[in-house]
Structure 1
Amino acid sequence: MTENTIITIGRQFGSGGHEIGNMLAQRLNIPLYDKNLIHMAAQEIGISNEAAENLNETVLGRFLSAYVVNLGDYTTFMSGEDTEPLSDRMYRVQTELVKKLADRSSCVIVGRCADYILGDYSSCIHVFIHAFKEDRIRRISRIYKLTEKQAWDKIKRTDRERKLYYEAHTGRDWGSIESHQILFNASLMGVEGIVDALEAIYRSKEKGV
């Protein structure tokens, strides 16, 4: 089992979790894995990045992909008891990738149920980022150029998909303290404050403190 230090980040949409992961990885000079894990899995399976992203973090894909898989310019229908739904195959391949990457080097992994997948790894730091509703709306409105109502609708939809995806694959409550070691409120601590805290925890763990 790896002795590398792995930081996994779960996050509410609009909380700044991805920004925190990116900033932390840069500061620690270690790899960041997020959406690129989807693309890596897509390449291994042999589907487009777009098709893979359509399956990402939505339980609906678990059902739809059992019947139809879009591959380029044509559609392949899946049938038979031994056929593995594409979304299940994507999750399985991503699981294998997460473990291989964790064994390769210390890193930051955003999403992908990484806290659950690496649950037996003693050298992991599992965190979940949340924030106040108003701050999340402001962030998403700014990033995606949306009205407040549009931003909130997008937040609710994305959070619902992430929750369903996480709980379907792990059997745990998404965003709960029982599922993660540390919960951070980005509205109270700020993005840099959380990065500072995680950097300190990481460096202490690396020193064996």
Structure 2
Amino acid sequence: MMEHTLITIGRQFGSGGHEVGNRLAERLDIPLYDHNLLRMAARELGVSDEDVAKVDETMLGRFLSGYVAGNGEYTAFMSGEEAGRPLSDRLFEAQSELIRRLAQRGPGIFVGRCADYVLGDYSNVINTFIYAYKDDRLNRIMDIYKLTEKQAADKIKKTDRERKLYYEARTGREWGGIESNSMLFNTSLLGIDGVTDALEAIYRKWESRG
């Protein structure tokens, strides 16, 4: 039986969810898993860093769905019926297996990657979704990426749409829906530090049970 606690973080683009994950990992001194999961999974399948750099959770299906493994450099990593499957499916399955293995190893924070769904059979998981008001998200993205307001709005709309499509296609659940998450946090109301404080307190309470 797994006794340590895990946290999953889904988030709207520009809400500061990833920053919450970073701060929380530092405070709790536990690992943070995010884009590195995709790179780790890709290496297990023999996909180059150059190709992985072109994809993330928002682009994965679109970029690779038509790329059937069994051509070029990927042939050596597929055999039998696996050779006819889209590489997007292979990467998702490898990534999911990594998440489960890391969850067994010890406490950690998983940002995105459908981790709440992948860890659905685990009891000690705090599933969260972080969002914010539109104006705050716009200002944050404008500041981080040095974009105009229209550019930031377009980037937010595009990224959220792709995250939603990716999550819902893989899980059959509503992205950001309450049925998939233990709790939802609004960084516009609580601030980045406020959400981090709340999750730290919840994590420590869970760890002290029993």
Corresponding residue of 1:12 = 12
After superposition, the C-alpha distances for 1:121-161 in whole angstroms (9 at most, x for unaligned) are 00000000000111111111111111111011011111111
Question: d(CA) in 2 for partners of 1:155 and 1:35?
Answer: 19
Q: 1:205 matched to which residue of 2?
A: 206
User: Where does 1:56-135 land on structure 2 (aligned, <5 Å)?
Assistant: 56-57=56-57, 58=59, 59-66=61-68, 82=82, 83-135=84-136
Alignment partner of 1:141 is 2:128: no
What is the TM-score normalised by the length of structure 2?
A: 0.90
Quote the residue 2:43 is aligned against. Answer: 43
The 1:68/1:140 distance shift into structure 2, 3 A limit, reads farther
Other structure's SS at 1:199 match: helix
Alpha-carbon distance between aligned partners in 2 of 1:165 and 1:52, rounded to the nearest angstrom: 16
Provide the secondary structure at the position in 2 that maps to 1:189: helix
Could you list the runs of 4 or more consecutive aligned residues of structure 1 that deviate by over 2 angstroms after TM superposition?
Answer: 52-59, 61-72
Q: Distance in 1 between matches of 2:21 and 2:71?
A: 32
Q: Is the 8 A contact 2:65 2:87 kept in 1?
A: no
SS across alignment from 1:7? strand
The alpha carbon displacement at 1:70 in A equals 8.0
Q: Distance in 1 between matches of 2:41 and 2:81?
A: 23
Q: Which sections of structure 2, spanning at least 5 residues, go unmatched?
A: none
Structure (1 or 2) with the greater helix fraction: 2
* Native 8 Å contact 2:42 2:52 kept in 1: yes
Residue identity opposite 2:48 in structure 1: S
Q: Matches of 1:184 and 1:114 in 2, distance apart?
A: 17
Query: Cα deviations across residues 6-28 of structure 1 (Å, max 9, x unaligned)?
Result: 00000000000000000000000
Amino acid at match of 1:56: D
Contact 1:8 1:127 in 2 (8 A): yes
Calculate the aligned-residue CA RMSD, in Å: 2.3
> Structure 2: which amino acid aligns with 1:128?
F
CA shift for structure 1 position 55? 3.9
The Cα shift of 1:69 comes to 7.0
Q: Which residue of 2 aligns with 1:31?
A: 31
In structure 2, relative to structure 1, the CA distance for the partners of 1:99 and 1:109 (3 Å cut) is same
SS for the counterpart of 2:184 is strand
Residue 3 of structure 2: aligned partner:
3
Percent identity between the two aligned chains: 59
Supply the distance in 2 between the matched residues of 1:69 and 1:113 (Cα, whole angstroms): 28
Go from structure 1 to structure 2 and tell me whether the alpha carbon gap of 1:186 and 1:68 turns closer, same or farther (over 3 Å shift).
farther
Q: Measure the CA separation in 1 of the matches of 2:72 and 2:23.
A: 35
| Paired positions, count | 205
1:71 CA displacement: 5.5
The question of 1:161 aligning with 2:165 is answered: no
